[in-house]
Amino acid sequence: MSQPVPPAGAPEQSPLGKPSGYCSEYAPALLFPIDRAPKRAELGIHGALPFVGEDLWNAYELSWLNPRGKPVVAMATFRVPATSPRLIESKSLKLYLNSFNGTCFDDAAVVRETIGRDLSAASGAAVEVELHTLDTRPTRELDYAVGELIDTLDIEIDDYLPRPGLLRVDTTCEPVSETLVSQLLKSNCLVTGQPDWGTVVIRYSGQPIDRASLLRYIVSFRDHNEFHEQCVERIFTDLRRYCAPQRLAVWARYTRRGGLDINPFRADPGEPPPDNSGDIRQ
C-alpha cells in the first residue's frame, strides 16, 4: 500500500535530511516556508496570538559578486515577525543564501532589498533585513544572558519529553520580578531528529516560579522534536497556563548551524525584546 503524501508545505517536504545540490545562481524558489498554524493549534492557539515577538536570525555566510565579478562578503540579520503565518525552514534559507554566491548585484543595498522581498514573500509578513559588508568591520558582542542561572540546582531528572505539569509556583510568597536563565535547553529537529542546543531566558513578574520544577521542565525537552520557534512558543504557552505570571517574556539563543543562528522571542505586549548579543556558543 502506498504511503500518503504529506501536504505541500509540510516539514517532510523540506530539503532537510536530503542531499542538496549547490546552486550558486540566485534562486528564491529554494526558500521553504512552513505554516505555523498546525503547531500552534497543538498549543490551543487559534486566531489571535497570545504573544508578540519575532524570530531573529543572524547569517554569517553571505556573499555575492559585484558588477565586475569580484566577491563581496557580508553578515546579515533577519527579523521575521511572530505574526507571520509561516516560518522559514533553516536549511532552505542556507541554500537560498548560497545561491547569491555566483550572482552579480550592483551593490549591497540591492542585495538587502532582494533578501527582504523574498523573505517577506515566503513568510507572509514584512521581514526586516540588516546587512553589513565585512569591510565596514561589523561586530556582535558575545555575552552570557543576564539573569539568575538555575542550572546549578542539584536535582534528579528522569523525563525527557515536555511535561508542563511539572511547573509550579510558590503561592505563599509575595510576587517577584526576575529573570531566570538555563543553558540546558536541548531539543531535536522536527524532521531530521538531529540535536539543537540553546540557552533559554525567562523574564516574568508574578508568584515565584519554583526553580527546580522549571529546570526539570526545560530539560524535559531533551528528546522532543520541534523547530526552534515552536519550542519557544510552547515554553511561553506552558508558563502562561501553569504559572499564570502577570507579565512574561521568553527567548532562546540557539547554537549556530550552517552559518545561521536563530533567536526566537515571545512575550506579552509591551515587554521589551532582548538585544542581539550572542550566546557564547553562537
Residue pLDDT, tens place only, 5-57 = 455 566 655 554 556 677 889 999 999 999 999 999 999 999 999 999 999 99
Write the pLDDT tens digit of every residue in 55-98.
999 999 999 999 999 999 999 999 999 999 999 999 999 999 99
What is the torsional sign of CA 136, 95, 129, 182?
negative
Q: Is 231 a catalytic residue?
A: no
Q: Is 118 a catalytic residue?
A: no
Reading the block at residue 108, the C-alpha cell is 549591497
Q: Is the pLDDT of residue 113 over 90?
A: yes
| Euclidean distance between CA atoms 101 and 150, whole angstroms | 43
How, if at all, do strands 260-267 and 52-65 pair?
antiparallel
In terms of Cα–Cα distance, which of 129, 93, 126 is closest to 109? 129
Phi/psi at 127 (5° precision): -105, 130
Polymer length in residues for the chain: 282
What is the torsional sign of CA 25, 29, 32, 36?
positive
Residue 13: what pLDDT?
55
Contact, 187 vs 196, CB < 8 A? yes
In terms of Cα–Cα distance, which of 115, 88, 91 is closest to 26? 115
In terms of Cα–Cα distance, which of 199, 174, 188 is closest to 227? 188
In terms of Cα–Cα distance, which of 200, 257, 274, 263 is closest to 60? 257
Of 55, 118, 189, 238, catalytic: 189
Residue 116: what pLDDT?
98
Q: Round to the nearest angstrom and report the end-to-end CA distance of the chain.
A: 45
Domains of the chain: 11-136 (3.30.1130.10), 148-267 (3.30.1130.10)
| Euclidean distance between CA atoms 33 and 36, whole angstroms | 9
Reading the block at residue 29, the C-alpha cell is 524558489
Assessment of whether the complete model's pTM goes beyond 0.95: no
Of 118, 196, 261, 279, catalytic: 196
